[in-house]
Amino acid sequence: MKAAVLEKPGKLAIRELPDPSCPPGGVVVKVLAANVCSTDLHMWEKGHPALRYPRTLGHEIAGVVAEVSNEERRYKVGDKVQVYPGIGCGTCEYCRRGRENLCPSIRILGFTLDGGFAQYLALPGEAVEKGGL
């Protein structure tokens, strides 16, 4: 698959990367839309001390389910989905209360995880929601 990868501040390259594998309990999303927002622009222009390179940016994402793991029952291939930009640990008090955005171990697409400026994205089932397109 192709992905727009930030190699260092100011240097974005289109790279050919392996297609992602479907994770247990997850899905692979074919990205149809990924918005460029001010966070992406800031990372491209100035970087961030905590950002590890190379990194595929993009955290505002919508697409269609391309593959579903055997354990995931909420989605089927072809479902239109939107993607949550933050993926919580699933076990802390905040995650158990549905407040994943406050998780102290949150992983952010396009920042701590590769994001949606790619053709495909592998995600846990909890990171997508039907609709959005």
Q: How far apart are the C-alpha atoms of 72 and 29, rounded to whole Å?
A: 13
pTM of the model: 0.92
Question: Per-residue pLDDT for 109 more than 90?
Answer: yes
Question: Per-residue pLDDT for 132 more than 80?
Answer: no
Per-residue pLDDT reduced to its tens digit, 4-32 = 999 999 999 999 999 999 999 999 999 99
* Span between the terminal Cα atoms of the chain, in Å: 22
Per-residue pLDDT reduced to its tens digit, 38-73 = 999 999 999 998 899 999 999 999 999 999 999 999
**Burial degree of 16 (CB within 10 A; 0-12, 13-18, 19+):** exposed
Q: What is the set of domains in the chain, with CATH numbers?
A: 2-130 (3.90.180.10)
Q: How far apart are the C-alpha atoms of 11 and 121, rounded to whole Å?
A: 22
